[in-house]
Amino acid sequence: MDRAGEKLRRARERLKLTYRDVVEASQEIAKRRGNSDYLIPLSRLADIENSGRVPTIFRLYTMAAIYRLDLQEVMRWYGVPAEQLPVDAMQVGLEGTHPIPLPFSNGHPAAPQLPDTAIDLTQTTSVSQLIGRWGKLPLSLVQASDGRQYQYALVGSDDWSMFPILRPGSLILIDQSRRKVARGGWLNEFDRPIYFLEHRAGFACGWCTLDASRLVVQPHPSSEQRPQVFAYPDEIDVIGQVIGAAMLLESKKRRNSRP
């Protein structure tokens, strides 16, 4: 902690800022944010630099802004690896399917390498950061694009709803700007848009038909599953359209072994 304080002190001194300069700048940030928690009193600033006092998240933000520092880097100085948040999140067992944001580094998606045991692969899961098992392949789909427009998702190993177009275990790329359900314009099943959706019970992936206030999620006929009908938009939300996929050609579980 003393080292973190020293780094902050050196950052302040490089900019030739006095304690009083920092206090006054923090007052402006607190005023702009409408929250006095961003304010750094002079005595507290001295404690942070010299006595190993750990700043609050608000004051850490303030110093990062004033000193022109990357907030995640400053958090690492205090032993908080913010970039590893998705990795640790995946270690927490949750019963429901859930999305996790994709971390970014230098404006591009960053991919922490996760072990296969870090996630329940039997569930269709929105896992924007879970691309370690696929290497760089999915990242090449969005490397030249604005990553904030896209989201990754994982088709569960028990989800055969769009087989054979999307195999269980597929890593799919969703364009979140394409949320309007198309009513036509495709020539065959491979041209028909596939959508990634969120409903009360979790997530779904499939073709969609929108009729007034009713949205039908249509699985592939080979899945032998029934369409699902939802009140729209009360019961289901269209996250975006599937525009890319990375698939393993072999599944650990054979299709004819499905219950």
Q: Give pLDDT tens digits along the chain (259 positions).
A: 559 999 999 999 999 999 999 999 999 999 999 999 999 999 999 999 999 899 999 999 999 999 999 998 999 999 998 877 766 765 665 433 345 555 544 444 444 444 444 455 566 665 554 444 444 444 444 443 455 588 877 777 778 899 999 888 777 888 999 999 999 999 999 999 999 999 988 888 999 999 889 999 999 999 889 999 999 999 999 999 999 887 766 555 544 544 4
What is the Cβ-side half-sphere exposure of residue 249, based on CA atoms within 13 angstroms? 0
Which residues are within 8 A (CB) of 237 and not within 5 positions of it... i.e. 6 or more apart?
197, 198, 199
Distance CA 208, CA 180 (A): 10
Strand 202-211 relative to strand 214-218: parallel, antiparallel, unpaired? antiparallel
Which residues does residue 244 pair with via DSSP β-bridges, in sequence order? 173
Distance CA 179, CA 195 (A): 8
Which residues are within 8 A (CB) of 89 and not within 5 positions of it... i.e. 6 or more apart?
100
- Going along the chain from its start, the domains and CATH numbers come out as 2-80 (1.10.260.40), 85-257 (2.10.109.10)
* DSSP assignment letter at 123: S
Q: What is the 3-state secondary structure (H, E, C) of 172-236?
A: EEEECCCCCCCCCCCCCCCCCCCEEEEECCEEEEEEEEEECCEEEEECCHHHCCCCEEEECCCCE
Is 12 strand, coil or helix? helix
Distance CA 259, CA 3 (A): 57
* Helix 57-67, helix 42-50: angle, nearest 10: 90
